[in-house]
Structure 1
Amino acid sequence: MYKKFAIVTIVAVYFLILVGGIVRATGSGMGCPDWPKCFGTWIPPTSVEQLPENYQEIFGQKLKGEVEFSAVKTWTEYVNRLVGVLIGVFIFITLLLAFKEYRGLKTGIVKYSLIAFILVGVQGFLGSIVVSTELHPGLVTVHMLLAIVIVLCLIYALFLAYKYQGNGLETENRSLRFMTLILLILSVGQLVLGTQIREMVDHLSFGSLPRSEWVDSLLGGKFYIHIVLAVILLAVHWVLFRDGKKVLKEGSLKILTLLFVAVIVEFIIGGVLGVFDIPAFSQPIHLTLATIIIGLQYALFLIFGKSKRSLS
């Protein structure tokens, strides 16, 4: 039961990352100018008539800026918060199942499930700080990276559960493990670099420059590095796929194949962003795929590790 629900929880966290990407792509981050309530209520308004006449002054003073109500942006951000609460419930249930099935066993499953649950609380607190600082770019990036850490904790706990059961997912291979580690480090760097470019895009979206000229404005050091890294990552992932499929078992091979497909799709979407003037719909998909790739790389890093260690 634990393993099945842990997989559901991991997928749910990735869905939350997708929703967060949609919030950012639509500029809905300040759709709710306060936290945890939204415009002072637990259920946000659907029209400006439901707000006091001086709502801009009330919430503008709190945020030290102008507030303009938009039902679409408000509810987009509110749904993001609701999904976040639901994820917290999912991770709590995962923790309870881990305790029920693995308590008293030296597996680490309960410990890492607990760490994931604690980090969800930290993530919620950090979310309130992000709102109070009016979406400070650095905090937004930390908020996203913490979500990835939560996913990695859940993946590690799930891996330990499979290892304890003795499903034989592991295939010890030091060279492929090292290659996967390098890919993991590069992908995290690529993700952080991508968020910096995204901040530049956000800045352009508030200016008068037409969308058709955004890509030309982004041309420079970070943009070129991002492109070069994308090509390198695609090439190295091909080598990993070529060599890994020769040694991995059936279950682990599915993870490797999924990773390679995700990298190819991510590369294509990156091209779409550059060729078609950064369409908003592709931005959250690009971000979510990047985080999925990191999770799959981490899973393979664990799989290529030592297989003789006992968890009993």
Structure 2
Amino acid sequence: MRIPHLIKFTLVFTLMVILMGAYTRLSDAGLGCPDWPGCYGHLTVPNESHELAKVEAHFPEHTVEPEKAWLEMIHRYIAGTLGLLVLVILILCLKQPSAPKKLPILISALIIFQAALGMWTVTMKLMPIVVMSHLIGGFSLFSLLFILYLRTKPLRIPGGDLYARKLAPIAAFGLAVLVIQIILGGWTSSNYAALACTTLPICEGNWVDNLRFADAFSPFQGNHPSFEFGVLDYATRMTIHISHRIWGVLTAIILVWIAIKLLKAQSSTMRKSAFLLILLVIAQVALGISNVVMHLPLGIAVSHNGGAALLLLTMVFINYALWRKA
């Protein structure tokens, strides 16, 4: 298999891992298996009587919930497979003289760190800063694999499109704004703050007087037996939710503004990217509103995570195209 084809397949697989991670987290199955990398000391979810007896002896404070445990283990299986795919890409890139070398090494190092974050997510009982870092690591891996793919597939964008190239700093600003929004989304999810506000456009009640930014964005939340279902009070979670919502509106406006400017570019590739960016922003806003109105239905919440990943890739592509050497 050629390297670009393998990377393309790995990109699709990475998106599957991101969506499965979101599904596992939103299904409250992050601690479906209280140990790592196995499940209650087994490579699969224990269900035989002798296996359950062993679980009772070694994990007396836990009860096996097969549905949640299988969600967690399936996520681990496909994440492990992703690690093997990245290893194959690294080997192929190192063997092929013309292939990039530094970027595959960086990706491989990142996926090893991702595995460590996956372990800490379990051993630290869903500590928000670890859960959020694991999510951001997945998005970073997705982006770096995409850049590696672009490095192996030459882009056909006229170097003389000076108008488009002048938009490069604005595009970089838009990417930074989007990254902050994704981090805020991860922090909202990891602190179980997605339903802290259930009205539109902002939040119910006298929310302005209850804002607690210092508590809301402190990575240190004390010692707790478990962070499952969150440990912050309502006002703090509300602050997190509102920050994500307001920054989301700002992000949507900035990205659409960038897209409108790109629609005037000479390059058809850039114009198509602009149209795609507008469509993805509209979809993300609609999904975000649906999450509030429909009280976080699982399918829509997972789609919101996937939409964020595709938005990120679109902005990465736009920046790569505008900043690359002609």
Decide: shared fold, TM above 0.5: yes
Structure 1 gap ranges (5+): 61-65, 206-210
Q: Distance in 1 between matches of 2:132 and 2:109?
A: 19
The question of whether the paired residues in 2 share the 8 Å contact of 1:9 and 1:94 is answered with: no
Task: Name the SS of the counterpart of 2:170 in structure 1.
Answer: helix
**Residue matched to 2:131:** 140
Q: CA RMSD in A?
A: 2.8
Matched, 1:2 2:20: no
2:142 counterpart letter in structure 1? V
- Structure 2 counterpart of 1:228, from 228, 235, 246: 246
**Residue matched to 2:184:** 193
Please give the residue correspondences for 1:31-110 in structure 2 after superposition, counting only pairs within 5 Å.
31-45=32-46, 47=47, 49=49, 51-53=51-53, 55-56=55-56, 58-59=58-59, 66-101=61-96, 103=97, 105=98, 109-110=100-101
Q: Distance in 2 between matches of 1:221 and 1:41?
A: 41
- Structure 2 counterpart of 1:178, from 154, 169, 173: 169
> Which has the larger helix fraction?
1
Deviation at 1:23, TM superposition (A): 0.4
Q: Distance in 2 between matches of 1:93 and 1:293?
A: 27
**Residue matched to 1:125:** 116
The question of whether the paired residues in 2 share the 8 Å contact of 1:169 and 1:252 is answered with: no
**Residue matched to 1:27:** 28
Q: Distance in 1 between matches of 2:94 and 2:280?
A: 33
Q: Cα–Cα, structure 1 residues 73 and 278, in superposed 2: closer, same or farther, change >3 Å?
A: same
Please give the residue correspondences for 1:126-275 in structure 2 after superposition, counting only pairs within 5 Å.
126-163=117-154, 167-168=156-157, 173-201=164-192, 220-247=238-265, 249-275=267-293
The question of whether the paired residues in 2 share the 8 Å contact of 1:141 and 1:192 is answered with: yes
Deviation at 1:56, TM superposition (A): 4.6
Q: Distance in 1 between matches of 2:58 and 2:305?
A: 34
Task: Name the SS of the counterpart of 1:304 in structure 2.
Answer: helix
Deviation at 1:83, TM superposition (A): 0.6
- Structure 1 counterpart of 2:106, from 115, 135, 153: 115
Q: What is the TM-score with the length of structure 2 in the denominator?
A: 0.79
Q: Cα–Cα, structure 1 residues 41 and 223, in superposed 2: closer, same or farther, change >3 Å?
A: closer
Q: Distance in 2 between matches of 1:4 and 1:255?
A: 22
Deviation at 1:77, TM superposition (A): 0.5
Deviation at 1:88, TM superposition (A): 1.1
Identity of aligned residues (%): 20
Count of aligned positions: 289
Task: Name the SS of the counterpart of 1:281 in structure 2.
Answer: helix
Which moves more between the two structures, 175-184 or 50-59? Answer: 50-59
The question of whether the paired residues in 1 share the 8 Å contact of 2:128 and 2:191 is answered with: no
Kindly provide the CA deviation profile for residues 174-214 of structure 1, in whole angstroms up to 9, marking residues without a partner as x. Answer: 44222221221111211222223223436989xxxxx99xx
The question of whether the paired residues in 1 share the 8 Å contact of 2:3 and 2:93 is answered with: yes
Deviation at 1:19, TM superposition (A): 0.3
Deviation at 1:132, TM superposition (A): 0.9
The question of whether the paired residues in 1 share the 8 Å contact of 2:7 and 2:149 is answered with: yes
2:43 counterpart letter in structure 1? W
Q: Which runs of 4+ in 1 moved over 6 A?
A: 202-205
The question of whether the paired residues in 2 share the 8 Å contact of 1:120 and 1:150 is answered with: yes
Q: Distance in 2 between matches of 1:15 and 1:248?
A: 35
Deviation at 1:256, TM superposition (A): 3.3
2:250 counterpart letter in structure 1? I
**Residue matched to 2:216:** none
Higher relative contact order (CA 8 A, sep 6+): 1
1:80 counterpart letter in structure 2? H
2:292 counterpart letter in structure 1? G
Q: Distance in 2 between matches of 1:248 and 1:17?
A: 35
The question of whether the paired residues in 2 share the 8 Å contact of 1:19 and 1:80 is answered with: yes
Structure 2 gap ranges (5+): 205-233
Q: Distance in 1 between matches of 2:190 and 2:264?
A: 41
Q: Distance in 1 between matches of 2:131 and 2:314?
A: 23
